[in-house]
């Protein structure tokens, strides 16, 4: 079982501010790193799948970077909006071991 | 395409009762998964099936059994429910590096 950790557990952000948070995972035998966005009362929705060291992916105002050698990924939200409020999950490994999530609340 | 569907959406059981959670996908995926979600713990893998006819244990398999009935369907069975199994259960199916999740089943065991 992989040890996948996310920090912080929760984040309050003012509307318009940018923010970022971390996912750490074992760097040995790296397979893939996934980011999901999970809104309350809905299913997790895939944001990114990252496989290459140094990879950077972007979807609108949300982007992610990957460092497989040191075992971490950052997710960035630029100019946060209230609709960005959700729990962001990362998962690693070929069987997808999930971290505990970072709950983001964007205040208007 | 309905994607991944789960039934029921909600269920209340008494300790010791049994039930089966149903999951079906119409995306022709080989892999299917069952997760449970508990507050502060993210998603934990219960069982998965890499292909029709195969199943493997995940992180928290105790107290559960699964059946991969065919390529479309993957069911999760609780033979004797316990209060510790109160949770939200998500089914997912996937291909390559991507998973698609169902809407979840909220189970309460009294």
Rounded distance between C-alpha atoms, residue B88 and residue B105, angstroms: 6
Chain A residues in contact with B33 by the CB 8 A cut-off are 96
Q: Do B41 and A42 touch (CB under 8 A)?
A: no
**B5-20 confidence digits (pLDDT tens):** 999 999 999 999 999 9
Rounded distance between C-alpha atoms, residue B31 and residue A94, angstroms: 11
Please state which of the ranges A96-100, B73-77, B94-98 shows the lowest mean pLDDT.
B94-98
On whether the CB atoms of residues B4 and B23 are closer than 8 A, the answer is yes
**A7-39 confidence digits (pLDDT tens):** 999 999 999 999 999 999 998 888 899 999 999
Q: Do A43 and B90 touch (CB under 8 A)?
A: yes
pLDDT band at B96 (very low <50, low <70, confident <90, very high): low
pLDDT band at B109 (very low <50, low <70, confident <90, very high): very high
Q: How far is B85 from chain A (nearest CA, A)?
A: 18
């Amino acid at each position: 079982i992989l040890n996948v950790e996310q920090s912080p557990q929760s984040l309050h952000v003012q509307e318009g501010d940018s923010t970022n948070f971390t996912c750490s995972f074992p760097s040995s035998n790296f397979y893939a790193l996934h980011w999901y966005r999970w809104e309350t009362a809905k299913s997790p929705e895939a944001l990114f799948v990252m496989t290459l060291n140094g990879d950077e992916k972007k979807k609108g105002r949300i982007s992610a970077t990957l460092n497989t050698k040191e075992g971490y990924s950052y997710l960035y939200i630029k100019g946060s909006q209230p609709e960005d409020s959700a729990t962001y999950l990362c998962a690693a490994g070929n069987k997808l071991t999930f971290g505990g999530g970072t709950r983001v609340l964007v205040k208007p | 395409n309905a994607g991944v569907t789960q039934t029921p959406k909600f269920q209340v059981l008494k300790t010791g009762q049994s039930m089966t959670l149903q999951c079906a996908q119409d995306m022709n995926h080989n892999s299917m998964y069952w997760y449970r979600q508990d507050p502060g713990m993210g998603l934990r893998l219960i069982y998965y099936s890499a292909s029709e006819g195969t199943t493997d244990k995940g992180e928290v398999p105790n107290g559960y059994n699964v059946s991969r009935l065919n390529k479309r369907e993957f069911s999760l069975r609780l033979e004797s429910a316990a209060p510790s199994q109160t949770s939200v259960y998500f089914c997912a199916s996937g291909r390559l590096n991507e998973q698609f999740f169902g809407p979840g089943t909220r189970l309460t065991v009294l």
